[in-house]
Each structure stands twice: as structure tokens, then as C-alpha cells.
Structure 1
Amino acid sequence: MSAGIPGAGPSKTHDFAITDRHAVFLDLPVTFRFDLVGQGMPDAWDDGCAARIGIMELDRPGHVRWLGIDPCYVLHVGSAHTDAPGRIVLDGARYSAADTVAMWSRLGGATPATPATPAADAAALGVARLHRWTLDPATGSVTETARDDRPVEFPTLDDRLVGRASRYLHAVSDGADAPSAAEARGIAAIVEYDDATGAADTHPLDAAAGEAVFVPAQDGTAEDDGWLLTITTRRDGSASQLLVLDAADLAGPAVAAVTLPRGVPAGFHRSWIED
């Protein structure tokens, strides 16, 4: 079954989330612009577009309820689930208005009129930060909470828990502890967020890391019984490595580091598929 969902405009909807009961859509103030075609990425921040999250019950396709949120942009959601009171809890990598413009410029896109908020220091990199939205379908209320202030992207979790509550969320940091934008460009880490304790463990790296993919242990019982796989790439173009980390001891040494025959350009997404 298919159903159309009317939108407010040509917003760039790159990702969405699901829970056991809902699909969750993002309609945010980055829009496609024909006048920017040929100038890189034809997407731009539009102050005239409201930021909102849509919730759709899975058994009512096409019926979406939109809830307004503070202006921002989200390329990648991390996890979503329905909590005990029936609220939708959504985690994602949130860009502010200034961060969005800087990020688009860094990726090679055009830079339209920058919002009034200045992008300075680390914000000049166009970085996202892990954020949580709690949406209540019964009341229409939305609560927004910053989970961390370090720059992160590509949040991931155990694929078996997509749409359900999960304790751990993983992300890639590029400049987690840097005091300035210039220094942030050379720092990378894999970050593991523990929703039960609020802690965030890191595995510092000396190379840029791709999205961390969780591979469960065959006989594992705990949620973190398994490994995190990521491809790291040095900025000098030398050979990349497939890095294997113990998800239960992220701060510890790598389980394995497999040097690849050549450098692999930093990529975006991958999935583990059993043989």
C-alpha cells in the first residue's frame, strides 16, 4: 500500500525513523532550489520554512500529524522507540542554522544568505550534536534535549533494535575535544552513548572514521556483546584500515586493525550482512 504525504515545500528529507507503532518524518528548513543547480549541492537553508516532525501511525498510511520544533536540520536519525507512556523518543544528529550553512559549504554546496546566528570557531566546521526529541501524540507536546555537546555524525545502533528501545547508540566524532575549529579537523573518535547511565565512552583515533557498524556476537546475551566495525582513512591518502573494536570495552585497544591494499575515500553508510 502506498500513500502520499503533502509537504510544505521541497524540503531535503534525507532520513526518517520508525518505532513499533509509528513512522517519524522530518520536514526541516533545508530546501531544494533550482537556481542553485550547477553550483554544487542545490540545497539551501530557508528561513521561511518551519521546522516540524511528522508522526504517522503505521496502520494509518498517509495520515500524518505535524508537530513544530525549533529550527534545525537533521541528516541522520539515530534511534527511535515508543516509551511506556506512549511517547515517541527520537535521537538524531542535529545541526543548528549556522552549522547547516557551514556544513553545506564544507560539502561543496552553495552558501546562501547565512542566518543571523554567526558560525564561529567549531561551528564553522558545520558540525552536528546528538539531540533528543520526545513527542507526545496524546497532547501534541514536544520536548527537545541536547544529549551531548561534542560534534558527532552517523549515529547507529544494533540493527536488531531498530524501532525499539536500545541502551547503546554509537556515533562518529570529528573534533570531540578540540578547542578550536582548526584543531578539530585533525581529531576523530568513535563514541558510545549509554542511555542507562548517561555516560559516553570514546575510542580516540588518528584518522577519519566512517560510520560504526555493530556486529553482534553469535552467542551474545548483553546488548553490547559484539564488535564495532569502521573504516578509518588518513588524510594523506595512505592505506585505510578496517578497525574492529570491542563494543563492551570501547575505550580499550582495538581487537584488530586490518590494513587495506589502498586508501578508501571516506564514505557514508554500510551494513553488516550475514553470509
Structure 2
Amino acid sequence: MDSTTLNPGLQFPDDVVFRGYAAPVRIEADVHDLEVVGQIPAALNGAYFRNSADHCYPPLLGKDIFLNGDGMVHCVRFENGHADLKTRYVRTEKFRRERQARRALFGAYRNAFTDSPEVAGCDNNTANTSMLWHHGKLYALKESGRPYELDPMTLETLGERDFNGALKSRTFTAHPKLDPETGECIAFGYNTEGVPDPWIEIYTIDPEGTLTRTERFEAPYCSMVHDMLVSRHYIAFVVCPMTSELERIQRGEPYWHWDNTRTTWVAVIPRREGVAQMRWFRSARPVFQTHTFNAWEEDGPHGTRLHLEHFITESGWLSQFPDLHDPSAEEKPPFGERWTLELGLPHDGFEVRRFIQHVGEMPAIDPRYAMKRTRHYWFGTSNTDLGPMLPWGPKGPPFTCLAHLDNETGKLDFWYAGADSSPEEPHFVPRSADAAEGDGWLLSMVGRRAENRTDLVILDALRLSAGPVAVVKFPCRVHEGFHGQWVNASALAR
């Protein structure tokens, strides 16, 4: 037997998920004193943590979706006008077992029936979606598993966490909400036993990190509940017809399918009274909630009005998961919608208003103003008046712009990233703790596709079209990511 037979080599498939700018990077590195064009604001002192899905090994089944990559965390540390880069994989159980075997052992996204026999019963959590900073700890999150704690200075994986045994569920959302007034973290899990079911569990974690409250409720059907909305007094879940069934998974089909024959529902739960006082509202059309801006309340003629602000599309995420009834269906773009629910009236309908007349995704607000009415909104988008669209990629059409909406004036302002450049999720950082709403900077990773390289761009959040305050240039490409988290230096020091 020759060496070629003993070691067939490691080769990723020639597929849109694994080639070109989307190809796995797999580099764990430290780069000190990144090149900076312009000047990093002196007050920008802290760390930007951002998560991504970066396949460590070629997929077990020959092909895979973008979402199923291993969690790779990128940290850019700002201090005294300097910036350093650190990248590390999250050492999940999946990662550790595959690293030891030197090959993929887990199969399709969230489908244990496609895994290798030697990892039967093992956790397939990739911890690849978002970051959470709360009670002085940093977590990497993926909605199909529990949080993984990381050392914020070294990015060393400290282990899976269950909040001292209080978290009984096997899942924890990638989109928890932080209450800027109480310091609480409100989170949830769905498919809590790791298989399709209609149950959703809500968690409240106090500022010291104690999981103080948990309760469950049953949705009308098993749904992908990727995000949620929290106002001062209410929690809202949008149950969308992105559905899952155990029998389909056992047949080796994708975990999720879009089924527009089902109704979209909204569950509204008072934060104090809990699920005992839950109400259901019915959407007039089947839609999918991608990500959320904010929720807030106001007094109306019939009692409390609850406003839910989020991006909504009339299809599922078809670039990742198929349409159950029409495999050739195309993904439709999301738009910003405000849903207004009259909680004082007995009917189950609600008013829908498109408040962002422009395609967009990856929403952001000033987090200090979460859970009450806000004026400023940021999101990723494209604007063909400024530059051409980029070709469809493994997670859909890439952005070419970042946008700011002033909801008081209705004005939209854009920053165009440049030819062959794709900004990712914008993240707002206030200029100071007591700065006015929106007064601060917008951070975004930008893919320089023609150069096969990545930048981190710093913009004046209220003057995007003025261009970057500073561009932090990476000497290489880091993998396209999802969601990030800013942590001030003072918080890191504590």
C-alpha cells in the first residue's frame, strides 16, 4: 500500500460554498499593529468580536451549506489608536473530535442521522453564529446548541456552559437581548431536545449571570425561530413557516423547508406575568422574519400599542433550505417592516407598514436605546445608483453598501464600499456612555474580493456617505461572518 492510499489528502469540493472568496480560510493567527488608513478614534478603546462559519474539513457528504461551518471567532482589539487581530476556532465537541480524526465526522446541518457511527450521540454544535458579552463573560453562540465560553483576551475555549445547571435545554438562541435598564439578558431556545418539536423555552439571566427564570410554551408548529423581539414589558416571537419534521430528516432531507401553506403567527408574552398571559396574533400572509431591529410600546386609544420592527421576506431562506412545494422557487428580498399590535383590542390581526422602502438585512440600532422608540437604524444593503450588484454567493447576494435611516426625517444615507467590495453586518459603538442616540461609530468587516482580503471599516454612524474615518487593513482574508459584539476596554478590564 503506497502513501497515496494511506493518506488520500484533504480537498474541498469545487462548489460555490468552498471556492473563491467563500473558500475556507482555516487560519488561527495573531497580527499585531494592523495597517490603518486614516486615524482610529482615540475613544474607540475595546474589542470587536465577530463569529463566522469556517469549515475545518471537507464535508462528510461531499457538499454542505454555508451555515454548517465550524465556529471561527475574529477579534480586533483597539487601544490608543492601534489595532491587533486574533483569530481562533471554537473548540466545540464537534471540532475536537474531527481534529483528532483529521476528517469530518458529522454530516448534514443538524441531522444526526447523517453522522459517522463513531460520533453517534455526540453534540454537533458548531458555535458559529454570534457573540454574547454579559456578566463579564464572552460566549460564542449557535441556536442548535448551548453557549461556549471564551477567554476574551486569548479566545481560548473555556467550555460549554449551562449556567450552573439551570439551563436544562440543549439549545440557546444566537440572538439574546440585553436590557439596557435592568442589565438582564433575555434569551430562549427552540427544538430544546435537539429534535423538531413545537416547544419554545424562555430564559432570563440576571446581571450576575444567574439564570433566574425559565418557562416553556407550545407554538402552533415546529418553526425556525431565529430571532425575537423584546420591549420594556413584552417579549414577541414570530413563528414562521420554515418548518422541520423528523421523518424528513430521517430520510436525509434538509433540516428545514419553507412551507407557505402554513400561517405566520406572533406570540406576545408579558415579561412580568409570563406565558400564562400569552396572546397569539395571526399574520395575513405567510412571511419569514430574518432579523430584528427593536420592539417598543406606546399608549393608544385602545390601550397599549406594541410595535415590532424587523426585516421580513415573503420566502424562506432558500439559498440555504428548499421550498417544500416548489424546489425551483427563488429567494425573495427582505424589507424593513413595522408591525403594530393593539393589545387592548380582542382581535388577532395587526397593522403592517413597510418603514424601510429599500432591500436590506443585518439590522442594527444604538443598543443603549433598545426596548424603547428609536430614531436611528443601520443595515446592510445594495444601491445600484452607487455601484453594481455582486454575484450571488453561498449565503445569498452580498451587500455593496451600508445604510442609515433617520426615522424622524425619513432620510436614507448610504456608504458604498467600492468595486468588488462587500460590507457585512454593521455594528454601532457610541462615542461615549452619555452621547446622544446615534452619536458614535459604525464598524463593519468588508470583503475586498478582488484582492482576496478583508478590512474593518470605521464610519461616523450619522454621516455614512462622508466615507470611512479609518480603514483597518488585514493582510489576508478572514472568512465571511454573521454577527459581532463590541466590548469596551473598561468592561474587559473588569
The TM-score, its normalising length taken from structure 1, stands at 0.86
Residue 176 of structure 1 contacts residue 189 of structure 1 at CA under 8 Å; is this kept in 2?
no
* Cα deviation, residue 209, structure 1: 1.4
Aligned to 2:263: 50
Alignment of 1:89 onto 2:295: no
Q: Bigger CA drift: 256-265 or 214-223?
A: 214-223
Q: Which amino acid aligns with 2:273?
A: R
Distance 1:252 1:27, change over 3 A: same
**Residues 1-275 of structure 1 mapped to structure 2, 5 A cutoff:** 1-34=213-246, 35-36=248-249, 41-63=254-276, 64-69=278-283, 70-85=285-300, 86-97=304-315, 100=316, 103-104=317-318, 106-107=319-320, 109-114=321-326, 124=330, 126-139=332-345, 140=347, 141-174=349-382, 185=397, 188-206=400-418, 207-218=421-432, 221-236=435-450, 238-275=452-489
Residue 176 of structure 1 contacts residue 187 of structure 1 at CA under 8 Å; is this kept in 2?
no
Residue 151 of structure 1 contacts residue 176 of structure 1 at CA under 8 Å; is this kept in 2?
no
Q: Which amino acid aligns with 1:197?
A: T
* Cα deviation, residue 208, structure 1: 1.5
SS at match of 1:148: strand
Q: Which amino acid aligns with 2:362?
A: F
Residue 33 of structure 1 contacts residue 44 of structure 1 at CA under 8 Å; is this kept in 2?
no
Distance 1:250 1:180, change over 3 A: closer
Q: Could you tell me how far apart the structure 2 residues matched to 1:28 and 1:179 are?
A: 33
Give the percent of matched residue pairs that are identical in Structure 1 and Structure 2. 22
* Cα deviation, residue 175, structure 1: 5.3
Q: Which amino acid aligns with 1:7?
A: A
Residue 269 of structure 2 contacts residue 279 of structure 2 at CA under 8 Å; is this kept in 1?
yes
Q: Could you tell me how far apart the structure 1 residues matched to 2:342 and 2:454 are?
A: 44
Distance 1:40 1:254, change over 3 A: farther
SS at match of 1:3: strand
Per-residue CA distance 1:111-168 (angstroms, 9 max, x = gap): 43239xx96xxxx454211111011111144100112332211111111111111101
* Cα deviation, residue 183, structure 1: 7.0
Q: Which amino acid aligns with 2:351?
A: T
Q: Could you tell me how far apart the structure 2 residues matched to 1:156 and 1:93 are?
A: 11
Q: Which amino acid aligns with 1:93?
A: F
Q: Could you tell me how far apart the structure 2 residues matched to 1:88 and 1:176 are?
A: 35
Residue 214 of structure 1 contacts residue 229 of structure 1 at CA under 8 Å; is this kept in 2?
yes
Q: Which amino acid aligns with 1:51?
A: T
Q: Bigger CA drift: 171-180 or 227-236?
A: 171-180
Per-residue CA distance 1:75-110 (angstroms, 9 max, x = gap): 21111111232211111111113xx2xx32x23x33
Q: Could you tell me how far apart the structure 1 residues matched to 2:390 and 2:231 are?
A: 39
SS at match of 1:62: helix
* Cα deviation, residue 186, structure 1: 6.7
Highest Rg: 1 or 2? 2
Q: Which amino acid aligns with 1:191?
A: A
Q: Which amino acid aligns with 1:50?
A: T
Aligned to 2:36: none
RMSD: 2.6
Residue 387 of structure 2 contacts residue 400 of structure 2 at CA under 8 Å; is this kept in 1?
no
Q: Could you tell me how far apart the structure 1 residues matched to 2:426 and 2:289 are?
A: 18
Q: Which amino acid aligns with 1:10?
A: C
Residue 209 of structure 1 contacts residue 266 of structure 1 at CA under 8 Å; is this kept in 2?
no
Distance 1:176 1:156, change over 3 A: farther
Distance 1:186 1:163, change over 3 A: closer
Q: Which amino acid aligns with 1:154?
A: M
Distance 1:168 1:239, change over 3 A: same
* Cα deviation, residue 234, structure 1: 2.8
Q: Could you tell me how far apart the structure 2 residues matched to 1:80 and 1:243 are?
A: 28
Q: Which amino acid aligns with 1:60?
A: E
Per-residue CA distance 1:210-268 (angstroms, 9 max, x = gap): 11111001265321210000001133461100000001211112101111131122211
* Cα deviation, residue 174, structure 1: 3.7
* Cα deviation, residue 196, structure 1: 0.9
Q: Which amino acid aligns with 1:160?
A: R
Q: How many residues end up aligned between the 2 structures?
A: 263
Q: Could you tell me how far apart the structure 2 residues matched to 1:42 and 1:180 are?
A: 34
SS at match of 2:227: coil
Q: Bigger CA drift: 229-238 or 148-157?
A: 229-238
Q: Which amino acid aligns with 1:59?
A: R
Q: Could you tell me how far apart the structure 2 residues matched to 1:186 and 1:29 are?
A: 25
